[in-house]
Structure 1
Amino acid sequence: MDFFQSVDGQLDDALQTAPNVITNDQQVRGMLTKRAKTLHLGTANYCWFADPAKALCPKLAGTPTADQPLIGMCDSARCPRATHHPRHRPLWEKTVEQNKVFVGMLGRRQRAERAR
């Protein structure tokens, strides 16, 4: 028991000195309240639309003054505002499998399409 209590004490010390550690539910609710207008949930990614000038979708759409993301136009592989999480993985895996099947069905006459 002494060993486990010493480990708990070390963890408590680490939590107090670590930056950006949320230690209770009230702090989580406060953080989410502040970020509620910033976080947009998408099917394939999450968008943290805090600074529209850094988002890619308004630039692609030609609407640089947009106040909300165009989540359907998101190029999440290139946008610095997009994040991917484990819950998005099945969608990405399904897309990869569908593309493999599609490319595998291309005939010999469609070499350019196969390469593309």
Structure 2
Amino acid sequence: MKNLFLSCLVMGVMGLAFWAYTENYETKGKLDEIAQLNRDISEAHSRLRALKAEWAYLNRPERLLQLVNANFDELKLLQLTADHFARLEQIPYPGPDLGPITEPIEVMNREASP
């Protein structure tokens, strides 16, 4: 009985050791995967910064003005100035579409009524 208990105990310890061994390597694999993802994210951020810098370089006002002037015959673009903007009060908004009046109602003034 003592030998059976001891052999079960040894088998249990060996099973736990195998489980710990596999968990250790799975954890190391996941840590390597996380490190690779972090490197990929860092490279993506670097590319994004480069693209933003290139976009800012290409959208310089003086460059855009040169392009507008060079392609005026084809595109008919004008330089954007402060005169091209209006205040909100100056914008005409269409009223709601009420449709045709089919049944007119006569309205009396209260002061004019007897």
TM-score range, shorter chain: under 0.3
Q: TM-score, normalised by structure 1?
A: 0.25
Q: Give the structure-2-normalised TM-score.
A: 0.25
* Larger helix proportion of the pair: 2
Larger Rg: 2
The one of the two structures with greater contact order (alpha-carbon pairs below 8 A, sep at least 6) is: 1
Q: Which has the higher strand share?
A: 1
